[in-house]
Structure 1
Amino acid sequence: MGSPDADERRIPITGLHVAAVRALLTRCNDDYRELSKQIETEDDCEGFARLLFSAFFEAVDRRFAREGDAAIIEFVADMRAENLHLLDDIDPSVAEKMIAYTLGRGEIGDIDGATKNSHLIAILMHLAGDLPPGGALDRLLATARRDAEEW
């Protein structure tokens, strides 16, 4: 879950990537399905992934940078309580570790890649759902896009 090596070539983050991440985070499933079908090339897949990771890092930082572990535990408990269909899919200790790791606290080396990815998406969707109305998601995605393009 770290940023790619500086030696790697830059991957442009396109409007398609932003639209697909926005559709995912706003739970516009039909739009997301259609947009994700257009993400075909290796560069497109990489750009989408970088934007998703960047949005996760930015959203976690905005929400928890000044918070302690209790706020993280409460957030994960609320996320699971509000999304009962996630109870079997989201391990609270994994979700808490991922948030803490993003803030520079702890390690996640013992968590496999598929589990990291599924938890990242669930956490990010819940963080996006908690954003205040009026452009907060636009600002988050703009910052995430800028950061992802710098990787």
Structure 2
Amino acid sequence: MAATLQAQLAGRTDDHLRLLRELDKESVQADYPVLVAAAFFLATNRRFGKCDPKTVKSQIIEFVASLRGRTPEATEKIDAHIAERLLLAVLGEGSIADIDDRAVYTTELFLLAGLIADADLNDAELASFITKARAMADEE
């Protein structure tokens, strides 16, 4: 699963889809969202964790607006309010208990892709990031 997520975040769509098809469907449904959540947590903290608490909300709003404006698909599929709430929740502000699990998962995927794209990680850095996310997911 880690290789699948790494391929997705690296923009290697063909590899991602091939690896995804090779995974057990039950594992994908149960475990892949846990890996995505762990990676999302790490990427969010990496990007916003050290921000000034007075400006972090405005920085999150700007990031979400920027991400939604990158592609028509992102504009259509990313609910700005949900995206902002997910990012803030990782930082300990607010709750996402009322948000549907499917909406959380799909929004996390879009946000994670944007966070990683903006981080401009090389292959070794992305591999290290995925290793950390996998270790965190394995603790769950």
- Equivalent residues, number: 135
The 2-side partners of 1:143 and 1:125 are apart by 16
Q: Is residue 146 of structure 1 aligned with residue 130 of structure 2? A: no
- Pairwise CA RMSD: 1.6
Distance in 1 (CA, whole Å) between partners of 2:29 and 2:76 is 28
Contact between 2:7 and 2:16, CA under 8 Å: does it hold in 1? yes
Question: Under a length normalisation based on structure 1, what TM-score does the superposition of the two structures give?
Answer: 0.81
1:131–1:137 contact (8 Å) kept in structure 2: no
In structure 1, runs of 5+ residues without a counterpart are: 1-16
Q: Which residue of 1 aligns with 2:77?
A: 89
Unaligned runs of 5+ in 2: none
Residues 92/41 of structure 1: CA separation in 2 closer, same or farther (3 Å cut): closer
Higher helix share: 2
Partner of 2:120: 132
Which portions of structure 1, spanning 4 or more consecutive aligned residues, are displaced by more than 3 angstroms? Answer: 41-47
Q: 5 Å matches for 1:1-151?
A: 17-40=1-24, 42-43=26-27, 45-67=29-51, 68-134=56-122, 135-151=124-140
- How far has the Cα of 1:42 moved from its partner? 3.3
1:107 alignment partner AA: S
Which residue in 2 is equivalent to 1:13? none
* One-letter amino acid matched to 1:86: A
CA shift in 2, pair 1:100/1:37, >3 Å = same
> 58-67 vs 41-50, which deviates more?
41-50
